[in-house]
Homo-oligomer: A and B are copies of this chain.
Amino acid sequence: MSSKPKVTIHDIAEKLNITASTVSRALNDHPRISEATKKSVQKLAKSLNYQPNNIAAALRNGKTNIIGIIVPTADRAFFASVIRGIEEIANKLNYKVIISQSNDNYEKEVQTIDALLSARVDGIIASIGKNTENFDHYKRMQEKGIPLVLFDRTTDELEVSQVMIDDYLGAYKVVEHLIQQGARRIAHFTSPKKVSVFKERLRGYVDALRDNGIPYDEALVVKSNLQLEDGRASMEQLLALAERPDAVFSASDYGAMGAMQVVKENGLRVPQDVALAGFGNEPFTSFSEPALTTVDQFSLTMGRITAELFFEHFKAGPEKKLVPQKTVLKPELVVRGSSLKAEALKKDTEKLS
């Protein structure tokens, strides 16, 4: 019932007839404090239900043991999973994390950094918003000596360590796979934004076509926001072409799902008529019919690695300032029914005979 007992080290000190300094040292296991004192302090602390005030310690030490995470949104499977990975590592090192969502809004991203800086976080791990093209707010915090590590949505305009997956390789593998499955007119859904991940996926698509002697057809590359509805619209656009594609590689799983709906609604078969592949390995991809071929980004691992990289820099201190380091994770092609054109066609033939 009593609202606030608020036990401090001074209370403990008083009852034990010693000073707060001694209590502080006893609680921190300082070597110059006798075992007897330590024990009695710790015992009393427990019985008084003493709760250390990290705020006071933080003020004195200039260290809060909190790191800030900025993501476009925390409720997308990919980011949620990365956050989980970061939190796991941070917790092990006795750090807590503050999550902030930018909603892909530039102004909110700027405000968020300000808020985190005022909260005196020890560092920031961020994934840049889609609409961010000016990075001064990040530069400002770097000038203040706050460690920063970027993941997934990164930029080369900042001198900073980053963790990302090899989007180029992932895309290349997908397209190569589609070609092996017999696809020859392969469309691609991409984003108009200047986000590197999408540019890299597009590059992988283009190169895989070229390396396999398939001509690049601009009409087959459709730009959109890559959500479900966009995928539907893009697919409708493609089906209206004189020569419709026999496969689609969408830079997002959502886009691919939209395409799948439209393909089926038009009485076409996946993968026989149109093979499909997405990117991201969202949980729902394994539940569609057929299940969607996609690229796994190892989001949990990415979170862990990002956090480890962060703490590596962090411990090195702002002086020794490690050289920014770019970690590129290899993505994995997850082959499922939606792209297995060859096998599906073969099976169809067998059925007929």
- A residues touching B (Cβ–Cβ < 8 Å)? 1-5, 49, 51-56, 58-59, 64, 66, 73-77, 80-81, 83-84, 87, 91, 96-101, 114-120, 140, 143-145, 257, 282-284, 287-289, 318-319
Contact = CB atoms under 8 A, between A and B. Distances in A.
Copies of this chain in the oligomer: 2
A76 B80 CA distance: 8
Contacts of A114: 51
Contact of A80 (B74, B98, B287, B319): B74
A56 B66 CA distance: 15
A319 B289 contact: no
A64 B55 contact: yes
A54 B58 CA distance: 11
Contacts of A144: 4-5, 49, 51
A8 to B, nearest CB: 12
A51 B97 contact: no
Mostly helix, strand, loop or mixed at chain A's interface? mixed
6 contacts: A56-B59, A98-B98, A282-B283, A282-B284, A287-B288, A289-B289
Contacts of A55: 55, 58-59, 64, 119-120
Contacts of A1: 143
Contacts of A115: 96
A251 to B, nearest CB: 18
Nearest to A260: B287
B73 A101 contact: no
Contact of A98 (B96, B118, B288, B319): B96
A101 B118 CA distance: 24
